[in-house]
Structure 1
Amino acid sequence: MANQLEQMGAKLKTELFLKGRLRHDLSLEEKRALEDSVVDVVTLKPRTTLVERGERIENSFYIIEGTMMRHLDNQRGERQLVGLNVVGDFVDLHGFPMKRLDHNVASLDRVTLAKVPHKAIAELVDRFPHLARAMWFSTLLDAAMHREWIFRLGRLNAEGRIAHLVSEIIERLKFVGRYDGTNLPVPLLQRDYAEACGITSVHANRSFRNLRERGILDPQGDGKIAILDERALNKLGEFDGDYLYGDGDLALESLDDR
């Protein structure tokens, strides 16, 4: 059984769900039920579309390995990145009640996904109200990040926008133990940063050069970045990770009402 495996230290497909946030508030029975809802494991090659805007969906996908990106395209086919999902995230859990997404979802790098049918999610919601609340919480984290992305686009300059985005990725990876303190393991290219930050690729290139010259980070090609001064990075991006609900004033100890 999944709970027995967890007690023995075996790796579960969904073991990083809400890690660093409220996973500690889930019972072993809830963790087992979530694990048992997985019906298949799917692997995507880099830059592969998982869900297209408007198509009907009957499954949600949880990231075991890799990074997914959300994007909208204008009438000329130009892309705007509107979100990222990392290891431990459900990519499209909000598709459970909505059945269609208003944006596209694609892999950034090679991604391994756990497939969970909406029918299984409906059963989890009925059987485990507390787990349902945790899953609702995870979708609201996406909403909190979207608001922060709006702040970033509206109030920071190009270098600040890039710094804020990198800081957010680092913080999210820390929750799940995927950041080594130096190397950013999310291979966004400079054009991706441009599309996420509302700037041109030329402006992104110039901004990265300035960040390197200031000793904050070092772009190393193919999306690889070495972080040289995380404190300066956070300061430049006006980054306060409270909105991720892990540490700080917004952190929660429990999902229960008091």
Structure 2
Amino acid sequence: MPRRRIGFWYRFAAVLCKPPLVVLIKRDWRGMENIPTEGGFITAVNHNSHVDPFAYAHYQYNTGRVPRFLAKAGLFKKGFVGAAMRGTGQIPVYRESTDALSAFRAAIDAVERGECVAFYPEGTLTRDPDGWPMTGKTGAARVALQTKCPVIPVAQWGANELLPPYAKKPNLLPRKTHHVLAGPPVDLSRFYDKEMSPDLLKEATEVIMAAITAQLEQIRGERAPEKAYDPREVRIAQRRRAAAKEKAQAQQEEGQGA
């Protein structure tokens, strides 16, 4: 696969990060043939460890198409970190924007320049108790439908065994294996040239998340839950339970007062 110009900062980051990753993690990397050799595209990746952005970046770096991750715009203004973010071509997300699509304008520009833009559609570490992908946010779908670029679903597993979600200490031994499987492009053509309504974006996002989950099922050799974990639904249910509990307590206190 031909290697594109990577640049000083990305090579410098690789010099710093690759040696410890090689020592700490074994690799089972598959599906590199599905990474486009030319043109802009999106990779949509599941997120289950604070380590996996580095482990996944290692995989993507070795394909010759380095990923441009989305990050909070404020990080690009802070000293060495900001210089590294800018130098490696990472993409600022302007969350203060009131226009949902313009918040991803830099990602759209990067795809149109022929870059690989890496999305974590879940937006945060999965909260699914068994590590399966959660419901996704619509950013990747917005950029994909705006640019009509390929969307490559990528599943990973193993970094979460080295450092489980929200854990503070890694499990170094025995040495863990980082499994990555990139699938063929997700077919989103039926959504093209239509109004980007919330329902359409939600449906396109569900298609992307289903493709990621299918790749992870292959890695893990087991079936995912039929319904993806939805943090919003969980929060609503928690609030309802709390409100019901408060109401019951109030009624109990009222009865005792009588």
Normalising TM by the smaller chain, what interval?
under 0.3
TM-score, normalised with respect to structure 2:
0.28
TM-score, normalised with respect to structure 1:
0.28
Pick the structure with more helix per residue: 2
